[in-house]
Amino acid sequence: MLPLPVVHSLDLLLKVLLAVVIAAGLTGASSPAPSSTPSPTPTMQSGMEGSKAALVRIELVAVAEIAHIDHSSGEVEMARGRSIVPLRSATGILLSADGIVATTWESLTLDKDTVAAYAANELFASKMHVPIVGNNGNRARRGSTPDPHWGPHLQHCYKQVTHCVLFTVAQYHVRTYTSKPGDVVAELLNTPSKPNDVALLRISGGGAAPTAALASTAAAPKVDGMLLGFTQRPTPKVAPVELPTKVDARAARVQSATNLAAPLLAGVASGPVVDQATGQILGLAGSRQPDGGATLVPAAAIRAALVKTGLQASPSRFDAVFRRGIDHLVAGNQGGSAESALEESLTYFDSALATNRLAEARALGAKQASKGQAQAAGDKDTATSSPGALVPVLLGALLLAVIGGAMVLVRRRAASATASAASGSRPAASHPPASGALRAAAQASDHSRASVERTELTKAAGDNDRHASRGRSHSVRTDAGEHHSPAQPQARTHFATPPAPGSDSNTHASAQPGAGETRFAGPLAPRAVGGAVGEVAAFCFRCGRQVQPEWRFCVSCGQRMG
């Protein structure tokens, strides 16, 4: 038999194991596999994206009117022509919502020699119908003609002599970075004179154009920059080039690991140099240097030009929404937040960059949706068929079954030992003290055994009384009016219940023969024969009075004795 503390400990252990198995099963069945959603471009930054959206390509064009006057034959003959002369391309940056663009004056300066050569070549080819040779077909370069009459006149027009009149008007065509090609003729707002002066243009149709933010004047002297610009006309498929640079603000220089001469000539000239950490404009790329770098027109010069012209930089409604969409896209486009913000930004401005980023956000959203569906299907399959989740549950159930069976066996053995101890021949006082259910079981067993003994003794006493009554010769009247016959000479042992503690009958009982033995009295007790040697005195089990063996009722309380 195991002690009760051991049994309680096993119960506690069983409960703990049950909790552990349930927790393990739930965790294995419901915990999804870790997944990560990488951002589409790890280096994407909303400030940098905002500056790229504000880029424009500037194409300098000269509208040339040329007139040639020939009076060599005695008659005045005049030929006139009009040419659109493309000169150079550069990059500019939008600074305000109403369409103010900053660039350098070097990129907007007319080259009169180039304009004259181009206009003269077109005029002589189209009006005098003479071939132009020696320039490889490039109308912007000077050539010659084999015609002996018109040859000198062509050279006069190159030199812009008095009988070849040239009128030139500059046009600044701004091509915005939009999903649909945009060509807007801009207006020059200030009067720059030096190559590295800041030139300010304004395009029509402003009000919600993307803008870039200027860096503070307290920027670090040396920072990592990014030179941005277009080498081709911008379209949704033609993005700006990004050239990593080292910016030395004190020396006003921009250096790169690659030679900047070629990209600057292709159209990156005057492009913004952006702080890679913040996306703010550090300045503009100025004149090319022999070492392959460029000068830096600082952001302070841009501010000064704005102030001098009475203008100021101002953000647009597009900026806040677009940059918020970029932040959501970098964060993973949870819940399609990037999609909604980028869609809203396109209602303010038809940005090609916003269109491209929206396509990325939609692709990312579709990928997340398909991954979520696949993960949900995988979780369902895991919950129904994956052995990884069922193994711990089955092992736990098997362990619980073994422990439960052991507990049932222990309890059965404990109950059997308790019943054996209760039905033994030792007196109740010899049993060790028990608690709880064991003590109650022992008491119930003792009470049951006493009841059986009383029943058997009562039957035996009744049989003896009947045999004794057959041999009686006379009866004796008692104080209670009862008649009884003299007892038989043989000695019989009867049992009577001892009187209640504290009653007077206890004293009398101790003086009677057989005192100290276990005695019973009451309806189940056999009647004792008084006066016989070896007999045991009887007492009323209700009031404790000593009764005579022949009494049928107690003379004190009237309790029936037999």
Measured N-to-C along each axis, helices 352-385 and 387-422 cross at an angle, to the nearest 10 degrees, of 40
Q: Taking the complete model, does pTM exceed 0.75, yes or no?
A: no
pLDDT exceeds cutoff 60 at 424 = no
State mean pLDDT over 277-294: 94
220-234, 340-354, 359-373, 456-470: the lowest-pLDDT one:
456-470
Indicate whether 541 pLDDT > 70: yes
pLDDT of residue 152: 92
CA-based nearest residue to 54, from 309, 358, 351: 351
Cα–Cα dist 412/418, whole Å: 10
Q: What is the mean pLDDT of the chain?
A: 77
- At residue 205, the pLDDT reads 66
Highest mean pLDDT among 25-39, 355-369, 405-419: 355-369
pLDDT tens, position by position, 110-153: 999 999 999 999 999 999 999 999 999 999 999 999 999 999 99
Question: For residues 377 and 409, which has the higher predicted lDDT (pLDDT)?
Answer: 409
pLDDT for res 204: 82
Per-residue pLDDT reduced to its tens digit, 178-202? 998 888 999 999 999 999 999 999 9
Whether the CB-CB separation of 132 and 125 falls below 8 Å is answered with: yes
Between 116 and 76, the more confident residue is: 116
Q: Which structure tokens are listed for 431?
A: 């049993």
Give the mean model confidence (pLDDT) for residues 469-496.
43
Percent of the chain past pLDDT 90, that is, above it, reads: 49
Q: Is the pLDDT of residue 486 over 60?
A: no
- pLDDT for position 536: 60
> Does the pLDDT value for residue 490 go beyond 70?
no
Strand (E) positions, 193-280? 198-202, 222-229, 241-248, 253-256, 272-275
274-278, 369-373, 517-521: which range is least confident on average? 517-521
pLDDT band at 335 (very low <50, low <70, confident <90, very high): confident
Instruction: Convert 382-411 to b/e letters by CB count within 10 Å (16 or more is b).
Output: beeeeeebbebbeebeeeeeeeeeeeeeee
Check residues 532 and 404 and name the one with the higher pLDDT: 404
Average pLDDT over every residue of 198-210:
87
pLDDT of 288 strictly over 60: yes
Question: pLDDT per residue over 224-268, tens digit each?
Answer: 999 999 999 999 999 999 999 999 988 899 999 889 999 999 999
Shortest CA distance to 45 belongs to which of 275, 229, 211, 252? 275
Q: Where are the beta strands (DSSP E) in 445-543?
A: 476-477, 483-484, 538-539
**Which neighbouring-strand residues pair with 416?**
none
